[in-house]
């Protein structure tokens, strides 16, 4: 019997077998989407394999495939094989993994299914209106005489390559009439097609002129071009200081890849925070690229997917989910800021986009480039072992730019400035005064949102806490004074008196970005102060704030780690780190690494043009090794020091981890289940022999309660992957027998330990 294995998007670890009716034989092939009956519901699934061999169950029990949605595979063979390996590595349900790469259901396909009595109500579909596009045609011979408006419009098109007619009409009101005449003259090609309405493409781009490369950039480009020329899997680490021109290296590498007729994939930490990067890509390649991000509508995302699948574009850029884009003939994968923790998915399928980028490139025979000023210790270890070829950019690309001077301000010995706030020290105050007097700009970095992180009762010592989470409530003043939980979004009115003892003596503890903004406005009344955090500029709205800085409509930018994300602000000459040691005490073995990376990245915002930069780092731990290495921009020194600590404690990259996470609304129930799974892990580990698998726990998570659920965990650790996977699989199998009151998830190579 002809049958197939399909991945159904449900949280079950194995695929399912269906028979293939004769009428569908030949069109049910790996990678196509099919409709099938699953239980009492209809599901869309992806075919993994087709076989006419023995059926793994009684033929009478097999259900038939009901319908095929695609004339060609929606998931190409290269991507399908990669996704199957990803599911295996992360012990993730194959159907849930395939869901990440499946396009939205088209409206025409939904109507066809509904005509067959399938998917009557619940399924949404995409399908947008058509838009007119104009493209200049290269011509030879004598050009016809044109009027002034037609001449300008044609020159604009030749500069941009292509543009929507609606955008041209905003610039040239008579554009539709002019374009029709230009088309009749054979100077312009007009067509109607569906186009994603994405904010990154709202305005036409002007093509740039590639700059002259520095010697270091040229060496890096040559190395990547050589790897591309070999057409074999190769991985490189582009370690370049902030402002060294890594993006230009990426652009040159992509151009080479396109010349070879192959596609390129670019991953960035948060696409909504890096519109400058997208603008640079459009300036070099026009609109011949697909941008993928979480803020897109289903229709826009589907159109981007279709443009890639049909090879109308061969460059995709986006955040971690762009890893699953169907880039045709993949030849190059770039991971910018590869150290960034946001490449790790923390819900659902817990994959790491950086690690999987290396895998996808390897399987596709492509070149993978990891770029960062502060490479992760995992990437450093791979480079030192020879598995990554290291490329260095040790100088800034701008001829007059140099790395900023970094100075430590010891808050134990330095008093406050005129504001009276101890976290706005006198040296910081004087440095801001100097920058403002020179007509330059400053960035102040504080990784705490809100006005005050805690509210304390002086009478009994009670701290206002979230009723659903094991954290204090943050006091906010924007939009009305209130207390808010940054984990579950619980919100309540600001206390007028202590909820426990009714004492009215309440004290605000700590400093948040709101309070810092107020202090700056009071201390520097003529300065224009902007704030950039998720309370005022979530997602793509951050670009409006940054654009005001670029246009010199603000003098001081106050923000959380959003201000560290690779922004190029040439007039910023001062960066102030308000409290550098805030994250060093977190119960996470990566705390030092994250703090160092944040400090170096935010320091890199200063002095990127002709003016020298200064970074002031305020701390109560001035002798901490992390701060001392950051003071000297000593990435190699920090890596040596931290790798020594990791080796001694047997943490990655010298070991491998699997974190078993459990949570439940019932504390006793989650404790019992955590102990049961820990016992399963210990028994399986004992069977493995050597190399040993350590079973640590069970224990409460550092944040013991979140969103009303109690959290426990069990940590598996081993130096070798094979025995660790055997233990993890045994736990996964045992977890399938866990009752619904307890949620269990396995996190392979965890990043967040809280």
The helix/strand/coil state of 180 is helix
The answer as to whether 604 is a domain residue is yes
pLDDT class of 207 with cuts at 50, 70, 90: confident
Q: Which residues contact 38 (CB under 8 A, 6 or more apart)?
A: 8, 10, 16, 45
For residues 499 and 437, give the distance between their C-alpha atoms in angstroms, rounded to a whole number: 47
Q: What is the extent of the structural domain holding 237?
A: 215-393
Region 472-496 average pLDDT: 88
Residue 572: give its domain's CATH number.
Answer: 3.40.50.300
For residues 716 and 659, give the distance between their C-alpha atoms in angstroms, rounded to a whole number: 6
Region 172-178 average pLDDT: 87
For residues 545 and 71, give the distance between their C-alpha atoms in angstroms, rounded to a whole number: 46
> What are all long-range contacts of 383-388, with beta carbons under 8 Å and residues at least 24 apart?
383/237, 383/239, 387/235, 388/235, 388/236, 388/237
Region 75-83 average pLDDT: 94
Is the domain of 337 the same as that of 238?
yes
CA-CA-CA-CA dihedral for 345, 348, 349, 354, to nearest 10: 0
Helix H or strand E encompassing 43:
strand 41-51
Q: Is the pLDDT of residue 108 over 70?
A: no
For residues 359 and 380, give the distance between their C-alpha atoms in angstroms, rounded to a whole number: 17
Order of strands across the sheet that contains 162-164 = 162-164, 130-136, 188-194
pLDDT class of 196 with cuts at 50, 70, 90: very low
Region 746-754 average pLDDT: 92
Q: What percent of the chain stands above pLDDT 70?
A: 92
DSSP secondary structure, 361-421, as one string: HHHHT-EEEEEESS--HHHHHHHHTTSSEEEEE-S-SSTT--PPEEEEEETTT--B-TT--
Which sign, positive or negative, has the C-alpha torsion 52, 55, 61, 65?
A: negative
For residues 380 and 382, give the distance between their C-alpha atoms in angstroms, rounded to a whole number: 5
The dihedral region occupied by 574, where left means phi > 0, alpha psi between -120 and 50, and beta the remainder, is: beta
Domain end (from 651, 673, 704): 651
Region 485-496 average pLDDT: 88
Residue 79: give its domain's CATH number.
Answer: 3.40.1440.60
Is the domain of 310 the same as that of 422?
no
Helix H or strand E encompassing 148:
helix 148-160
Q: Return the HEC string of 581-610.
A: CCCCCCCCCCHHHHHHHHHHHHHCCCCCCC
pLDDT of residue 695: 95
The answer as to whether 548 is a domain residue is no
For residues 400 and 139, give the distance between their C-alpha atoms in angstroms, rounded to a whole number: 42
Angle 635-649/591-603 helices, nearest 10 degrees?
A: 170
Contact between 87 and 51 (Cβ < 8 Å): no
The answer as to whether 467 is a domain residue is no
The helix/strand/coil state of 662 is strand
Region 211-223 average pLDDT: 93
Angle 377-384/635-649 helices, nearest 10 degrees?
A: 90
pLDDT of residue 128: 47
Is the domain of 347 the same as that of 252?
yes
Region 452-466 average pLDDT: 89
Q: pTM to 2 decimals?
A: 0.84
pLDDT digits (tens, 9 = 90+) for 395-404: 877 766 667 8
Region 82-104 average pLDDT: 91
The answer as to whether 544 is a domain residue is no
CA-CA-CA-CA dihedral for 621, 625, 626, 628, to nearest 10: 80
pLDDT of residue 198: 55
What total of structural domains would you count in the chain? 5
Q: Is the pLDDT of residue 740 over 80?
A: yes
Q: Which residues contact 154 (CB under 8 A, 6 or more apart)?
A: 136, 146, 182, 187, 188
Is the domain of 663 the same as that of 741?
yes
pLDDT digits (tens, 9 = 90+) for 1-53: 789 999 998 888 789 999 999 999 889 999 999 989 888 888 889 999 999 88
For residues 286 and 53, give the distance between their C-alpha atoms in angstroms, rounded to a whole number: 50
Domain end (from 583, 618, 651): 651
CB atoms near residue 572 (< 10 Å): 25
Helix H or strand E encompassing 304:
helix 298-309
Q: What is the largest CA-CA distance in the chain?
A: 90
The answer as to whether 458 is a domain residue is no
Region 405-409 average pLDDT: 89
Q: What percent of the chain stands above pLDDT 90?
A: 45
Is the domain of 240 the same as that of 369?
yes
Is the domain of 233 the same as that of 187?
no
Which of 212-226, 250-264, 318-332, 677-691 is the least confident region? 677-691
The answer as to whether 62 is a domain residue is yes
Q: Is the pLDDT of residue 339 over 90?
A: yes
For residues 251 and 231, give the distance between their C-alpha atoms in angstroms, rounded to a whole number: 18
Q: Is the pLDDT of residue 607 over 80?
A: no
Closest CA to 11 of 350, 360, 301: 350
More confident residue, 419 or 142: 419
pLDDT digits (tens, 9 = 90+) for 581-599: 878 878 889 999 999 998 8
Is the domain of 689 the same as that of 730?
yes
pLDDT class of 209 with cuts at 50, 70, 90: confident
The winner for highest mean pLDDT among 384-398, 415-429, 636-650 is 636-650
Q: According to DSSP H, which parts of 49-92 are helical?
A: 77-89
DSSP secondary structure, 702-730, as one string: EEEEETTEEEEEEEEEESSHHHHHHHHHH
The answer as to whether 601 is a domain residue is yes
pLDDT of residue 172: 84
Order of strands across the sheet that contains 67-68 = 16-19, 3-7, 41-51, 33-38, 67-68
323-340 burial by CB neighbour count: b if 16+ within 10 A, else e? bbbbbbbbbbbbbbbbbb
Is the domain of 226 the same as that of 332?
yes
More confident residue, 626 or 116: 626
Closest CA to 426 of 437, 435, 413, 440: 413
pLDDT class of 194 with cuts at 50, 70, 90: low
Is the domain of 66 the same as that of 37?
yes
More confident residue, 721 or 403: 721
pLDDT of residue 654: 94
Q: Is the pLDDT of residue 664 over 90?
A: yes
**Tokens linked to 397:** 């690309």
**Tokens linked to 559:** 């923000």
Domain end (from 651, 684, 713): 651
Which sign, positive or negative, has the C-alpha torsion 308, 314, 317, 320?
A: positive
The answer as to whether 121 is a domain residue is no
Is the domain of 367 the same as that of 428?
no
Which of 334-343, 453-462, 674-683 is the least confident region? 453-462
Residue 309 burial (C-beta neighbours within 10 Å; 0-12, 13-18, 19+): buried
Is the domain of 240 the same as that of 335?
yes
pLDDT of residue 609: 60
Region 465-472 average pLDDT: 91
Going along 473-604, which residue ranges are E strands? 474-476, 482-484, 491-493, 506-509, 529-532, 556-559, 572-577
CB atoms near residue 467 (< 10 Å): 11
Question: Counting every residue, how long is the chain?
Answer: 754
Is the domain of 277 the same as that of 412?
no
Instruction: Calculate the average pLDDT of the chain.
Output: 87
Composition of the chain by helix, strand, coil, percent to 5? 35, 25, 40
């Amino acid at each position: 019997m002809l049958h197939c294995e399909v991945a159904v998007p449900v949280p079950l670890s194995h695929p399912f077998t269906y028979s293939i009716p004769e009428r569908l034989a030949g069109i049910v092939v790996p990678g196509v989407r099919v409709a099938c009956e699953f239980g009492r519901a209809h599901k869309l699934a992806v075919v993994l394999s087709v076989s006419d061999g023995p059926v793994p169950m009684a033929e009478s029990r097999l259900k038939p495939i009901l319908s095929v949605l695609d004339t060609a595979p929606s998931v190409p063979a290269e991507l399908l094989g990669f996704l199957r390996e990803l599911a295996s590595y992360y012990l993730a349900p194959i159907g849930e993994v395939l869901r990440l790469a499946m396009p939205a259901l088209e409206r025409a396909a939904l109507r066809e299914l509904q005509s067959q009595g399938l998917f009557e109500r619940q399924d949404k579909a995409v399908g947008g209106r058509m838009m007119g596009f104009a493209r200049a045609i290269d011509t030879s011979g004598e050009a016809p005489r044109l009027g002034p408006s037609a001449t300008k419009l044609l020159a604009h098109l030749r500069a941009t390559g292509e543009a929507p007619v609606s955008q041209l009409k905003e610039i040239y009101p008579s554009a539709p009439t002019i374009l029709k005449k230009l088309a009749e003259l054979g100077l312009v090609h007009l067509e109607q097609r569906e186009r994603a309405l994405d904010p990154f493409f709202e305005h036409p781009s002007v093509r740039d002129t590639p700059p002259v490369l520095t010697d270091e950039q040229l060496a890096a480009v040559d190395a990547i071009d050589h790897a591309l020329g070999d057409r074999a899997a190769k991985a490189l680490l582009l370690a370049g200081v902030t402002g060294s021109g890594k993006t230009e290296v990426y652009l040159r590498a992509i151009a080479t890849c396109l010349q070879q007729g192959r596609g390129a994939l670019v991953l960035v930490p948060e696409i909504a925070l890096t519109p400058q990067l997208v603008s640079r890509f459009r300036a070099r390649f026009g609109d011949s690229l697909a941008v993928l991000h979480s803020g897109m509508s289903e229709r826009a995302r589907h159109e981007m997917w279709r443009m890639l699948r049909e090879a109308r574009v061969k460059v995709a850029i986006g955040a971690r989910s762009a890893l699953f884009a169907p880039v045709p003939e993949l030849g190059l994968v770039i991971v910018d800021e590869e150290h960034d923790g946001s490449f790790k998915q923390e819900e659902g399928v817990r994959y790491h986009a950086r690690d999987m980028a290396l895998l996808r490139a390897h399987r596709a025979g492509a070149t993978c480039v990891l770029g960062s000023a502060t490479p992760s210790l995992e990437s450093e270890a791979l480079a030192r072992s020879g598995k990554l070829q290291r490329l260095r950019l040790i100088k800034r690309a701008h001829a007059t730019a140099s790395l900023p001077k970094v100075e430590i301000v010891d808050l134990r010995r330095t008093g406050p400035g005129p504001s009276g706030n101890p976290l706005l020290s006198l040296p910081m105050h004087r440095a801001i005064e100097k920058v403002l007097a020179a007509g330059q700009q400053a960035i102040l970095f504080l990784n705490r949102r809100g006005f005050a992180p805690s509210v304390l009762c002086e009478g009994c010592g009670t701290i206002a806490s979230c009723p659903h989470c094991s954290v204090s409530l943050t006091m906010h003043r924007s939009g009305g004074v209130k207390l808010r939980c940054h984990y579950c979004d619980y919100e309540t009115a600001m206390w007028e008196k202590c909820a426990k003892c009714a004492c009215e003596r309440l004290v605000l503890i700590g400093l948040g970005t709101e309070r810092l903004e107020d202090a700056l406005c009071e201390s520097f009344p003529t300065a224009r102060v902007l704030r950039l955090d998720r309370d005022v500029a979530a997602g793509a709205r951050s670009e409006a704030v940054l654009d005001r800085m670029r246009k010199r409509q603000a003098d001081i930018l106050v923000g959380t780690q959003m201000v560290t994300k690779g922004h190029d602000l040439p007039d910023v000459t001062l960066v102030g780190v308000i409290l550098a040691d805030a994250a060093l005490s977190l119960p996470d073995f990566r705390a030092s690494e994250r703090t160092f990376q944040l400090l170096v990245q935010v320091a890199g915002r200063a002095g990127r043009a002709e003016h020298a930069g200064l970074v002031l780092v305020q701390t109560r731990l001035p002798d901490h090794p992390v701060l001392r290495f950051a003071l000297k921009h000593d990435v190699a020194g920090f890596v040596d020091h931290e790798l020594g600590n990791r080796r001694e404690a047997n943490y990655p990259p010298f070991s491998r981890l699997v974190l078993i996470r459990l949570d439940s609304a019932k504390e006793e129930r989650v404790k019992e289940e955590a102990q049961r799974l820990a016992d399963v892990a210990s028994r399986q580990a004992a069977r493995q022999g050597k190399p040993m698998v350590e079973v640590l726990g069970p224990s409460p998570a550092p944040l013991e309660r979140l969103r009303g659920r109690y959290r426990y965990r069990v940590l598996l650790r081993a130096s070798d992957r094979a025995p660790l996977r055997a233990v993890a699989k045994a736990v996964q199998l045992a977890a399938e027998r866990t009752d619904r009151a307890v949620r269990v998830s396995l996190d392979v190579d965890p990043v967040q330990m809280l």
